[in-house]
Structure 1
Amino acid sequence: MSYSLSLLDKSLIPEGADAAQAFQHTVALAQSAECLGYRRYWLAEHHGNKNYAGSAPEVLAAHVLAKTSRIRVGTGGVMLQHYSPFKVAETFRVLAALAPGRVDLGIGKAPGGLPLTSKALQWLHDPEKKRSEDFGVRLAELDAFLYDGVASGHALAGAVATPQPPQLPQRVLLGGSPESAVLAARLGWQFVYAGHFNGDPVNLAQSIAAYRAETGRAPWLALFAFAAHTHDEAAERVGALRSFRVYLPTGQTVNLPSLEAAAEFARQAGASDFRTEERRPHVIAGTGEEVRAALDALSAQHGIEEFVIDIPVADFAARHASVELLARARELAPA
């Protein structure tokens, strides 16, 4: 079964580098991905993390769009809990007017940072309204403003999101559960299973089944993948990736990269009673041919038609080489 390859970039900052260099590499990697036949290039949103430069993916997406000509560019994803759906719709309508037919609006549910950064992002929001507002309601409001320009049935009815681009952005929801898959399907959004956060094969299968039951097709799959010239080099570069899901007494859950980050999240949230659950993200590391074979197997098993690859290595040269090696192994035609 044939499938497309896309990239998700956090604009990682290697030791000894700075954000300006990370962004320069992001642009260079996007240009290479375009030449090598990758389908799309997404920018992630992270806040308060000195290792990631990408705190404003919509701004970075505009720059990458201007520096490329064919590859689709978007967000993976905008953390909707922090923002007005109306403003997000306007931002992506502008992007879609600047680069018609090339813009993806990817939305995520996670906070993208620790509680203090979330508090800073939401500082002028009504806290009571925030606590009572369901993510699905917020996503539906965004959908209405994005596609119809207006939302109905609430206090914002009549507000019109502008401008009107020649072609609207593709709508994509990133999630890691059957519930998210169903939400995306019922709103008519593409769903991407976040295997780079949760590689549990049972949850993956359940999420795929839920989306297929609603739409008749499989979602896309995001995962960690890294290719090097030898298997041992790839394994050494990647190391043992882990993530930890934090469960707070309030019912809030979030994925963090370490136990230290999990404890700090709980501390900033004011929770002394919390639990963590170690999770193994979906990681493929090896030669270009080995990574390709693993993707072939996943595509055949689940019917995946597009993989969104997150490269879990910060070194600029190694990241670039991985993109080239995988493209060569796949024998991708130029876009």
Structure 2
Amino acid sequence: MNVLKLSILDQSPVSSGFTHSEALQQTIQLAQAADRLGYTRFWVSEHHNSAGLAGSSPEVLLSTLAARTSRIRLGSGGVLLPHYSAYKVAENFRMLEALYPGRIDLGIGRAPGGTPHTAKALRGVSADLFEGLERFPAQVSDLLRFLTDSVEPGHVFEGIRATPLVDGVPQVWLLGSTGQSGVYASQAGAAFCFAHFINGAGGQQAVRSYRKSFRPSALNVVPQATVCIYVLCAETDEEAERQAASFDLRILQVEKGEFAGVLPPEEALAYPYSEWDRTRVRDNRSRMIIGGPKRVKEQLLELAESYEVDEVMVVAGGYHMETRVRTCELLAEAFGLGIGIRL
């Protein structure tokens, strides 16, 4: 394997005692740190009607991040395409590509990003949610047509071009936590990111199947894949485990529909876990890598080898902003990122 590249997905988590505005400012600070440290790309997510996650509009947030950084690739992880017009998404990301050429990734997914009721508010109260999911492959095809100016004669959208007209094309990724998303990515000739932080099982097979079925396109002539996982790194294994209590509880509360914000480690350690809770916490560790630099580096390399990828994307966790930044700093040091970079 070549030198492992590292990237970051940030969900703009809202820690207890902080506001959504402060959470978004923390995302900006983390992106600036990633830019300085030599990470390959920095993505932001899309969630709706969530007290614990502040990022609802990746396109708007990306414009700010791009203006506050100078080198790193920036992208959506991801735009939830079933809610929107493929044409408008193409225009949004062509605008970003025009303003920040060669630095924009368009990651798209088909998850609702919230409750079914919230999804209806996004699409319109009369919208059929299942129809939206069924239309996803056609939406992906339309999106790629608009991005590459390849609407064929006789197509319903013949003569329509997404503006602004630019030479470059955002790098397109399909995101998912199942093999089906890999199928869509291979059919579209797009890159594929498997969300191991959502589903800790089956990802390796999904990526292998994606590569095997990949169809070259105007976007990519060869398949490109990465994997995304929760990571918390501290100076020692023991300190990482202590800080990870906030991480463990956050994921558990999301599963139970109780998540309102990340709690400090002290409160997380004092939480009244049931036996079922403790089982879920142990099981959820398959989606996380926790430890000091040596342990985390070894496990990230093992993960990359199992997926046969040369890039891993991390979701840095913890209650304190300093914990998330420190994770990124320790990983950059352990992997020798940013050598020679001058900002």
TM over 0.5: yes
Structure 2 distance, partners of 1:67, 1:292, is 29
Contact 1:8 1:42 in 2 (8 A): yes
Q: 179-188 vs 130-139, which deviates more? A: 130-139
The amino acid across from 1:228 in the alignment is A
Please show how residues 210-225 of structure 1 align to structure 2 within 5 Å: 210-215=209-214, 219-225=225-231
Match of 1:302 among 293, 304, 307: 307
Contact 2:91 2:162 in 1 (8 A): yes
- Is the partner of 1:325 in helix, strand or coil? helix
Q: 159-168 vs 118-127, which deviates more? A: 118-127
Taking only aligned residues, the RMSD between alpha carbons, in angstroms, comes to 2.4
Partner of 1:226: 232
- Is the partner of 1:42 in helix, strand or coil? strand
Instruction: State the shift of 1:242 in Å.
Output: 8.5
Structure 2 distance, partners of 1:207, 1:42, is 21
Instruction: State the shift of 1:12 in Å.
Output: 1.2
Instruction: State the shift of 1:259 in Å.
Output: 2.7
Contact 1:208 1:302 in 2 (8 A): yes
Partner of 1:193: 194
TM-superposition CA deviations, 1:9-43 (whole Å, max 9, x none): 11111111112221221111111111111000001
- Change in Cα spacing, 1:34 to 1:118, as seen in structure 2 (3 Å) is same
Please show how residues 308-323 of structure 1 align to structure 2 within 5 Å: 308-323=313-328
Structure 2 distance, partners of 1:128, 1:224, is 29
- Change in Cα spacing, 1:129 to 1:155, as seen in structure 2 (3 Å) is farther
Structure 1 distance, partners of 2:91, 2:128, is 24
Structure 1 distance, partners of 2:6, 2:89, is 26
Q: 168-177 vs 178-187, which deviates more? A: 178-187
Instruction: State the shift of 1:177 in Å.
Output: 2.1
- Change in Cα spacing, 1:206 to 1:128, as seen in structure 2 (3 Å) is closer
Partner of 1:253: none
Please show how residues 35-46 of structure 1 align to structure 2 within 5 Å: 35-46=36-47
Structure 1 distance, partners of 2:235, 2:73, is 28
Query: Between Structure 1 and Structure 2, how many residues are aligned?
Result: 307
Instruction: State the shift of 1:260 in Å.
Output: 3.3
The amino acid across from 1:62 in the alignment is S
Where does the alignment leave 5 or more consecutive residues of structure 2 unmatched? Answer: 215-221, 260-279
Structure 2 distance, partners of 1:261, 1:113, is 13
Of all paired residues, the percent bearing the same amino acid is: 38
Structure 2 distance, partners of 1:302, 1:210, is 11
TM-superposition CA deviations, 1:280-320 (whole Å, max 9, x none): 35200101221111111122333211111112324211111
TM-score by length of 2: 0.83
TM-score by length of 1: 0.85
Structure 1 distance, partners of 2:326, 2:251, is 26
TM-superposition CA deviations, 1:197-220 (whole Å, max 9, x none): 0001xx122102101213475620
Partner of 2:265: none
